[in-house]
Amino acid sequence: MARAYSLDLRTRVIEAIEAGLSTREAARRFAIGISTSGGNYSRPCQGQESLNLWGYGSH
């Protein structure tokens, strides 16, 4: 089984997407899969935290 990505990498990917990078550009920049950068990222709804860290934090 593959190792989980670090919390730091997850945070940097999400911050890059929130700053305007597309999920494909973020995947290329951080050398991760497109589905990892975008498929697991969701923009926050009102009242929710801004970072969805792919399984870290509240569910």
The whole model's pTM is what?
0.65
Instruction: Report how far residue 9's alpha carbon sits from residue 25's, in angstroms, rounded to the nearest whole number.
Output: 15
- Where residue 20 falls among pLDDT bands split at 50, 70, 90? very high
The single residue listed with the structure tokens 């801004």 is: 50
Looking at the structure of the chain, the number of domains it has is 1
- Per-residue pLDDT for 59 more than 50? no
Q: Say what the pLDDT of residue 27 is.
A: 92
* Residue 50 to residues 2, 3, 25, Cα–Cα distance (Å): 26, 25, 20
The single residue listed with the structure tokens 């940097």 is: 12
Provide the domain limits for residue 13: 1-59
Q: Which two tokens stand for residue 38?
A: 């975008």
Instruction: Report how far residue 30's alpha carbon sits from residue 47's, in angstroms, rounded to the nearest whole number.
Output: 29
pLDDT tens digits along 29-54: 999 998 888 765 665 555 555 555 55
Report the CATH number at residue 25: 1.10.10
- Where residue 19 falls among pLDDT bands split at 50, 70, 90? very high
